[in-house]
Amino acid sequence: MTADISVLERDLIDVLSRHTPSDSLAALVQALRPDNSNLALAETAIAFDSSVFLRLSSHPKSADLIDYLGSKHPAPLILPGQAIQEFWNNQLQVVATISTNVKKKFDSFQSDLKKADPIFAAYAEKIDALLEEFRSQHGHIYDEATVRKTVAVLELLQARASVPYASRTALKDIAAYRKKTRTPPGFEDDGDGDFFIWADFLTGLQLARANGAKFSSAVLVTRDQKRDWSRSGIAHPVLAAEMKALLDTRFEIWTDEKLSSEIERALAEESQ
């Protein structure tokens, strides 16, 4: 079956502009009383934003992640087109410009701590613990192998994922209206990047379903924790309501760690 792009775009515009109503109240109740049952991973469409590429490539279980996503996950994988632009403009630039300097300063500081006078030992231990926390959370930005590993993740996505783009010209006025009314996502940012991440994601899901893909839930994997996306791991109810109105699909936001744990659980169940 071939998707009718004009019909899909009209449906998307109608939901994003509120010409098609979405049940935001039901979504709010659901957000306050979340369904803690696990999604069926095999029936879950997965999308990635630019903030997770580096983390996936440097994850301790990156081999398992790549293997599962590359060969075992039957539901759609989606890489919003906007995420590619943002990765080049933001994430990759960070690695290229500060990796060497940060690593040198980080290593030098740790070396100085080890030479500290015993009277500063208690402080040194606390600072060392904070540095280790920083390393675990942000160490990927100065790992010299990061770009090489990231290419492996991008090649996986190139082989398996769709890269949808919603029409920028058709949605520019809606993006401006939503910004003024603080409609998620992206009302905490200056530009409309997050809105087009969302619009591209929804477009990808529309195209996948129109072309016969099967999925009962959808997940966006991101490290963006601003409240215009989620709060305490719960997706903004307006986003959940829009997903429901457009695709009749449950929506969740996951971190890369959540994705990893779900894949680990799925692989364990498979082996049993």
Average pLDDT over the chain reads: 84
Tens of pLDDT, residue by residue over 199-229, are: 999 999 999 999 999 999 999 999 888 888 9
Mean pLDDT, residues 1-22: 87
Closest CA to 201 of 182, 181, 187, 184: 184
Domains recognised in the chain with CATH numbers? 5-96+145-271 (3.40.50.1010)
Structure tokens at 216: 């009962």
**Burial grade of 12 (CB within 10 A; 0-12, 13-18, 19 or more):** buried
Task: Name the 3-class secondary structure at 187.
Answer: coil
The answer to whether residue 96 scores a pLDDT higher than 60 is no
* pLDDT tens digits along 159-214: 999 999 999 999 999 999 999 999 999 887 888 999 999 999 999 999 999 999 99
